[in-house]
């Protein structure tokens, strides 16, 4: 038996999973919370303490070891994924100067706009590989925001790190900027790093955005690698705190959605919707896949070596469902039980899920949710059905955009925490996409981390071998052919409204509400 452990650092908690890599059995899974710091007067702020995260990791690890009934010293390797882009400024000893700018911190929207404009003006190739728009959720935007708003800390800034790299460095006892592990996944998708142009984007371009970024690339040094390479080995101090054996290998980390995709069995030709608070869409394209406008990242080796990692997403999914239920004084499960028998567009409503902006393909944080077709008889359950349909139609649009870059996909996987609990969502996705939707029978959260821990321990020669043993089996939701025509018509309306409101394209809006009324009347 080879026991391995993996941690998944989410928005509000970390979950530790312990698996037997030989049998593929999950022995234990335990979570511990940490606070998310919001500012009442500024809804864009979302910060989190590194110390709080590490305390939660130790608590969750000890609870998982107790659940598994094993000696923690028998665990052969540990790996961790995190949210991203979650950025922390550090001093010369890699100690935090402030909290993480968490992935959902949208403070840096002005900085992102300036970076995007300058990148296009200077003809920076990297901007094309992140879809043509640099996001307020990403590394340089957040770092520049920190520098502008913390003048008293500028002289102490030695570097900045993504959450996944900071966790790995801390656990390995790394205190030197030069030894900082740098995840290709994190740096490629969020910091404009790429082998094609020699690493980070040109310093001259960054300095042109703001002189505060002068010399910043020289501070973003370290050891660059993918998740089949090691960040280091567990330091004695952290081994004691976690109840593990010192010296076990720790691979370079990555983002949670990318490893959740691996834990779901993602292979070449798959699209994985990691459906949670938001949705992160991960796909594996061929090594020759190119950049696509509006798709927020195409990075070689970011998910697994030898494949193009493609990332897109939706800024609010579970959050939107929860908001609909909360406003109605209900819960998501109760509302979904009442809509299982609804047909395509049966509510006569069309819902654009922009309640937290649009991550893909418009990349606009300044958009808001739209619900068209309301009448006096509508209920919260009707809005929930329309919201799920809207999510699925948005995913269809995103997949089409990804395929326009030369990738092709044969399988859709709904992963993350929500699909295991919401068969209505899975069936609507299958009907809208007119593709089979595969859903892991148990949550894949943490499985990806355990897979990379197992490869670090030498239990498997490659990721595919580990997936065959450790990934959960799938349930399959088949598309219903009798829904295809109706959803094709509804999707055409969705795309027209999506691009009319979001991009200013010409559209005959006068036909939208009458068409929705025909759906409502079943005609």
How does pLDDT run along the chain (523 residues), one tens digit per residue?
699 999 999 999 999 999 999 999 999 999 999 999 998 888 889 999 999 999 999 999 999 999 999 999 999 999 999 998 999 999 999 999 999 999 989 899 999 999 999 999 999 999 998 888 898 999 999 999 999 999 999 999 999 999 999 999 999 999 999 999 999 999 999 999 998 899 999 999 999 999 999 999 999 999 999 999 999 999 999 999 999 999 999 999 999 989 999 999 998 888 999 998 889 999 887 777 778 888 888 888 888 888 888 889 898 999 999 999 999 999 999 999 989 999 999 999 999 999 988 989 898 878 999 999 999 999 999 999 999 999 999 999 999 998 887 777 888 999 988 998 999 999 999 999 999 999 999 888 899 999 999 999 999 999 999 999 999 999 999 999 999 999 999 999 999 999 999 999 999 999 999 999 999 998 6
Helix-strand-coil split of the chain, %, nearest 5: 40, 20, 35
Count of CB atoms situated within 10 Å of the CB of 507: 17
pLDDT digits (tens, 9 = 90+) for 259-273: 999 999 998 888 999
Strand pairing category for 181-183 and 159-162? unpaired
In three state form, how does the secondary structure of 4-34 look? EEEEEECCCEEEEEEEECCCCEEEEEEEEEC
Asked if 174 and 181 touch (Cβ cutoff 8 Å), the reply is yes
CATH topology of domain 266-443+480-522: Nucleotidyltransferase; domain 5 (3.30.420)
The first and second tokens of residue 66, run together, are 């107790």
3-255 and 266-443+480-522, same CATH topology: yes
Cα angle, residue 435 at apex, residues 291 and 343 outer, rounded to 5°:
120
> What is the model's pLDDT at position 523?
60
pTM of the model: 0.90
Backbone angles phi, psi at 16, to 5 degrees: -105, 130
With residue 224 as reference, give the H or E element that holds it. Answer: strand 223-225
Indicate the domain borders of the chain: 3-255, 266-443+480-522
Question: CA neighbours within 13 Å on the CB side: how many for 204?
Answer: 4
> What is the model's pLDDT at position 318?
92
> What is the model's pLDDT at position 363?
82
Query: Helices (DSSP H) in 27-107: which residue ranges?
Result: 50-68
- How far apart, in whole angstroms, are the C-alpha atoms of residue 296 and residue 285? 14
Q: Which CATH number is 3-255's, of 3.30.420.40, 3.10.20.90, 3.40.718.10, 3.40.50.10190?
A: 3.30.420.40
Strand pairing category for 87-90 and 159-162? antiparallel
> What is the model's pLDDT at position 410?
83
> What is the model's pLDDT at position 315?
87
Q: Where are any strands of DSSP class E within 83-165?
A: 87-90, 100-101, 159-162
CA distances 484 to 265, 321, 325, 480, 488, Å, are 27, 25, 28, 7, 6
With residue 468 as reference, give the H or E element that holds it. Answer: helix 463-470
With residue 313 as reference, give the H or E element that holds it. Answer: strand 308-314
Asked if 210 and 144 touch (Cβ cutoff 8 Å), the reply is yes
Q: DSSP states of 153-187 as a string?
A: GGGG--EEEEHHHHHHHHHTT---GGG-EEEHHHH
């Amino acid at each position: 038996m080879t026991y391995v452990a993996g941690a998944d650092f989410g928005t509000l908690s970390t979950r530790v999973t312990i698996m037997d890599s030989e049998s593929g059995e999950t022995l234990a899974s335990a979570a511990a919370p940490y606070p998310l710091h919001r500012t009442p007067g500024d809804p864009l702020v979302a910060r989190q303490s590194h110390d709080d995260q590490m305390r939660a990791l130790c608590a969750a690890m000890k609870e998982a070891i107790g659940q598994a009934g094993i000696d923690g010293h028998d665990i052969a390797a540990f790996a961790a994924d995190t949210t991203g882009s979650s950025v922390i400024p550090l001093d010369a000893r890699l100690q935090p100067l402030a909290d993480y700018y968490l992935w959902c911190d949208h403070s840096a929207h002005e900085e992102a706009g300036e970076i995007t404009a300058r990148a296009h003006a200077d003809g920076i190739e990297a901007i094309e590989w992140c879809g043509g728009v640099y996001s307020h959720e990403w590394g340089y935007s957040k770092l520049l925001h920190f520098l502008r708003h913390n003048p008293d800390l500028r002289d102490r800034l030695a570097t900045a790190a993504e959450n996944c790299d900071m966790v790995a460095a801390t656990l390995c006892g790394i205190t030197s900027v030069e030894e900082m592990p740098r995840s290709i996944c994190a740096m490629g998708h969020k910091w404009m790093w790429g082998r094609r142009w020699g690493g980070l984007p040109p310093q001259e371009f960054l300095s042109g955005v703001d002189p505060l970024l002068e010399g910043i690339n020289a501070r973003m040094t370290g050891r660059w690698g993918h998740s089949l390479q090691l960040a280091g080995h567990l330091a004695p101090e952290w081994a004691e705190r976690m109840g593990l054996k010192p010296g076990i290998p720790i691979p370079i980390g990555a983002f949670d959605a990318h490893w959740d995709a691996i834990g779901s069995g993602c292979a070449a030709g798959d699209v994985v919707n990691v459906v949670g608070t938001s949705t992160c869409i991960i796909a594996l394209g061929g090594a020759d896949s190119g950049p696509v406008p509006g798709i927020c990242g195409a990075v070689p080796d970011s998910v697994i070596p030898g494949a193009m990692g493609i990332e897109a997403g939706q800024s609010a999914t579970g959050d939107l469902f929860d908001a609909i239920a909360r406003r109605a004084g209900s819960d998501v499960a109760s509302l979904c039980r009442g809509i299982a028998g609804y047909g395509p567009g049966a509510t006569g409503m069309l819902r654009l899920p922009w309640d937290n902006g649009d991550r893909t393909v418009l990349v606009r944080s300044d958009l808001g949710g739209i619900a068209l077709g309301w009448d006096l008889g509508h209920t919260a359950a009707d809005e929930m059905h329309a919201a799920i349909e809207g999510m699925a139609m948005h995913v269809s649009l995103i997949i089409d955009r990804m395929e326009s870059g030369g990738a092709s996909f044969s399988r859709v996987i709904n992963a993350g925490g929500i699909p295991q609990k919401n068969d209505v969502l899975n069936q609507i996705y299958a009907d809208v996409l007119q593709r089979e939707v595969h859903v892991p029978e148990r949550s894949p959260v943490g499985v990806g981390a355990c897979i990379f821990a197992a490869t670090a321990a030498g239990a498997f020669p490659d990721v595919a071998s580990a997936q065959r043993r450790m990934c959960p089996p799938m349930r399959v939701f088949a598309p219903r052919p009798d829904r295809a025509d109706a959803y094709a018509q509804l999707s055409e309306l969705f795309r027209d409204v999506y691009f009319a409101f979001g991009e200013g394209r010409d559209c005959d809006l006068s036909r939208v509400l009458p068409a929705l009324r025909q759906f409502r009347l079943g005609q």
